Chain A
Amino acid sequence: MQLVLERRAERSTKIAILSPLLAIALTLVTMSILFAILGKNPAMALYVYFIEPLTDSFTLMEIAVKATPLVMIAIGLSLCYLANVWNIGAEGQFIMGAVCGSYLAVVTNGTDPGPWVLPAMLLMGALGGALWAMIPALCKVRYGANEILTSLMLVYVADLIMDYLVRGPWRDPQGMNFPTTASFDPVATVPTLFETGRIHWGALVALIVVALAAVMLGRTIKGFEIRVVGAAPRAAAFAGFNSKRLVLFTFAVSGALAGLAGIIEVAGPVGVLQPGISPGYGFTAIIVAFLGRLNPVGILIAGLFLALTFIGGEGAQISMKIPLDLTKVFQGILLFYVLACDSLILYRIRLIASPKKAIHGTA
Chain B
Amino acid sequence: MLNPASASSPSARAPLLQAIAMTKRYGSFAANDSIDLDLYAGEIHALLGENGAGKSTLVKTMYGLIQPSAGELRWMGEKLELTGPSDARAKGIAMVFQHFSLFDNLTVAENVALGLDGVESFAAMSARLAQVSRDYGLPLDPNREVWRLSVGERQRIEIVRALMQNPKLLILDEPTAVLTPQEADQLFTVLFRLKSEGRALLYISHKLDEVKRLCDTATILRGGKKISTCDPRKETAASLARMMVGAEIGEVKATSARATTVPRLLINDLSLEPDDPHGVHLKGISIEVQGGEILGIAGVAGNGQDELFSALSGERLAPHEDNVIIDGHAAGHLSVTDRRKLGAAFVPEERLGHGTAPRMKLSENALLTGHAASHMVHRGFVDKPKTLETVDKTTKTFDVRKAKRDPEAVSLSGGNLQKFIVGR
Contacts and interface: CB of A to CB of B under 8 A. Distances in A.
Interface of A: 2, 6, 9-11, 219-222, 224, 227-228, 231-232, 234-240, 242, 352, 354-355, 358, 360-363
Closest 4 CB pairs of A and B: A240-B337, A240-B336, A232-B357, A355-B81
Q: Main secondary structure on chain B at its contact with chain A?
A: loop
B344 to A, nearest CB: 11
A231 B348 CA distance: 18
A363 B359 CA distance: 42
B286 interface: no
B350 A11 contact: no
B5 A363 contact: yes
B258 interface: no
B83 A2 contact: yes
Nearest to B29: A9
Contacts of A240: 314, 335-338, 340, 371-372
Given A224-B371, A227-B360, A361-B6, A239 B354 contact: no
B354 A234 contact: yes
B323 interface: no
Given A220-B381, A232-B354, 16 more contacts: A9-B27, A10-B411, A219-B381, A220-B380, A221-B382, A224-B364, A224-B371, A234-B354, A235-B353, A235-B354, A239-B336, A239-B337, A239-B368, A240-B371, A360-B78, A363-B92
A14 to B, nearest CB: 14
Which of B26, B353, B357, B358 has the most A CB atoms < 10 Å from its CB? B357
29 contacts: A2-B83, A9-B26, A10-B27, A11-B359, A220-B381, A220-B382, A221-B367, A221-B371, A224-B367, A224-B371, A224-B382, A231-B359, A232-B354, A232-B356, A232-B358, A235-B353, A235-B355, A236-B357, A238-B369, A239-B337, A239-B369, A239-B371, A352-B67, A354-B83, A360-B75, A360-B92, A361-B5, A363-B166, A363-B168
A335 to B, nearest CB: 23
How extensive is the interface on chain B, given as a class?
Answer: 35 or more
B195 interface: no
A355 B367 contact: no
B54 to A, nearest CB: 15
B356 A237 contact: no
Contacts of A236: 357
Contacts of A239: 336-337, 368-369, 371
A238 B356 CA distance: 9
Interface of B: 4-6, 26-27, 67, 75-76, 78, 81, 83, 91-92, 166, 168, 313-315, 335-338, 340, 346, 348, 350, 353-360, 364, 367-369, 371-372, 377, 380-382, 407-408, 410-411
A11 B357 CA distance: 14
A363 B4 contact: yes
Contacts of A221: 367, 371, 377, 380-382
Given A224-B382, A355-B83, A237 B408 contact: no
A100 B354 CA distance: 43
A19 to B, nearest CB: 16
Given A2-B83, A220-B382, A360 B368 contact: no
Contacts of A222: 380
A221 B367 CA distance: 9
Given A228-B360, A352-B83, A363-B168, A238 B354 contact: yes
Contacts of B354: 232, 234-235, 238
B405 to A, nearest CB: 13
Given A10-B407, A219-B382, A224-B382, A235 B357 contact: yes
Contacts of A363: 4-5, 92, 166, 168
B407 A238 contact: no
A228 B377 contact: no
Contacts of A242: 335
Contacts of A220: 380-382
